[in-house]
Structure 1
Amino acid sequence: MAAEIPDEFIELLEALSEERIDEAGRARLVSMVREDASLRAVLREHFAVSRALASLERDDPGFAERTAAHVMKTAEEGEFAFAGKVTRRIARHRFAKGLAAAAVLTLAALPLAWKMLHPAKDVATLVRMDEAGIVLSRTPVKAGEKLTETSGLIRLDFHNGAVVAVEAPAKLTTVSGMEIALESGRLNAWCPESAHGFKVRTKSAELTDLGTSFGISASPDGRSEFVVLDGLVEVQKGSEKIRLEQGKALTSNAQDTLQSVAFDPSGFKNTWPLASGILSTTGSVIPASPDVPEKVALSEDSEHVLVIPERRGIPFTSPLEAEIIGPGSLPGTFDGSAKTMEPQAGRRLRSILLRYDPVGTSPEDYFIRLEGEVTFDRPVLAISCLRESLEKSDGVFSTASWTATHRGIELKQIDNDPDSVTLSEDRRTVKIIFYAGASTDEIRVFLED
Structure 2
Amino acid sequence: MNDEEFLRLATLYLEDAIDDRDLDLLNRDLANSPDRVRQFNDLRLLTGLISEHGCAVASGNATEFTLNRPGESSSVDACVDASRPSTASRPGSSRRATAITLAVLAAAALLLLAFDVFHTEPQRDPVAPAIATLAYTSHARWGGEERALGYGFGKGKLNLEVGLARLDFRNGATVTLQGPAEFEILSTDRTILNSGILTAAIPESAVGFEVVTPAMDVVDLGTAFGVSVGADGETDVCVFEGEVEVSRSVSEDVPQLVREGNAVRSRPKADTIDSVDYSTERYEDAWPVTSGVLQATGLMKFVSPGPDFVPGRYEDSEHILVFPERSRVLLTSDLAVNVTEPGQYMRVRRKDKQPIAAGQVIRSYLLQLNPIGEFTREEADGARVIGQLTFDRPILGLIGGTSLLTKTDEPLGHPLGDYGDTRRGIEPTRSDDLPDSGRDNV
Change (3 A) 1:333 1:300: closer
SS at match of 1:302: strand
Question: Does the alignment pair 1:206 with 2:217?
Answer: yes
Spell out, residue by residue over 1:378-403, the C-alpha distance to the aligned partner (whole angstroms, 9 max, x if none): 10111111111111111112121235
Question: Does the alignment pair 1:317 with 2:325?
Answer: no
Question: Does the alignment pair 1:123 with 2:146?
Answer: no
Distance across 1 between alignment mates of 2:227 and 2:337: 37
Question: Does the alignment pair 1:304 with 2:326?
Answer: no
Question: Does the alignment pair 1:397 with 2:429?
Answer: no
Distance across 1 between alignment mates of 2:425 and 2:260: 30
SS at match of 1:330: coil
Identity of aligned residues (%): 34
**For 1:14-413, what aligned pairs fall within 5 Å after superposition?**
121-130=129-138, 137-237=148-248, 238-240=251-253, 241-256=255-270, 257-292=272-307, 295=310, 298-331=313-346, 336-344=351-359, 347-363=360-376, 366-367=379-380, 369-399=384-414, 400-402=417-419
Instruction: Tell me the amino acid that sits aligned with residue 401 of structure 1.
Output: D
Note the aligned Cα RMSD (angstroms). Answer: 3.0
Unaligned runs of 5+ in 2: 1-126, 141-146, 427-437
- Please say if residues 123 and 140 of structure 1, whose CA atoms lie closer than 8 Å, have aligned partners that are also in contact: no
Instruction: Tell me the amino acid that sits aligned with residue 156 of structure 1.
Output: L
Change (3 A) 1:297 1:197: farther
Change (3 A) 1:407 1:148: closer
- Please say if residues 319 and 341 of structure 1, whose CA atoms lie closer than 8 Å, have aligned partners that are also in contact: yes
Distance across 1 between alignment mates of 2:157 and 2:413: 38
Distance across 2 between alignment mates of 1:304 and 1:280: 15
TM-score, with structure 2 as normaliser? 0.60
Q: How big is the shift at 1:329?
A: 3.5
Count residues in correspondence: 292
- Please say if residues 266 and 290 of structure 1, whose CA atoms lie closer than 8 Å, have aligned partners that are also in contact: no
Change (3 A) 1:295 1:357: same
Change (3 A) 1:277 1:218: same
SS at match of 1:139: coil
Spell out, residue by residue over 1:75-107, the C-alpha distance to the aligned partner (whole angstroms, 9 max, x if none): xxxxxxxxxxxxxxxxxxxxxxxxxxxxxxxxx
Q: How big is the shift at 1:205?
A: 1.0
Distance across 2 between alignment mates of 1:388 and 1:138: 41
Distance across 2 between alignment mates of 1:307 and 1:162: 22
Change (3 A) 1:358 1:154: same
Change (3 A) 1:327 1:397: same
Larger radius of gyration: 1
Distance across 2 between alignment mates of 1:354 and 1:440: 18
2:103 alignment counterpart: none
Unaligned runs of 5+ in 1: 1-118, 410-436, 442-449
Q: How big is the shift at 1:258?
A: 1.0
Distance across 2 between alignment mates of 1:142 and 1:392: 42
Change (3 A) 1:153 1:440: farther
Distance across 1 between alignment mates of 2:202 and 2:232: 27
- Please say if residues 206 and 236 of structure 1, whose CA atoms lie closer than 8 Å, have aligned partners that are also in contact: yes
Instruction: Tell me the amino acid that sits aligned with residue 247 of structure 1.
Output: G
TM-score, with structure 1 as normaliser? 0.59
Q: Which has the higher contact order (CA 8 A, sep 6+)?
A: 2
- Please say if residues 183 and 195 of structure 2, whose CA atoms lie closer than 8 Å, have aligned partners that are also in contact: yes
Change (3 A) 1:233 1:393: same
Change (3 A) 1:298 1:329: farther
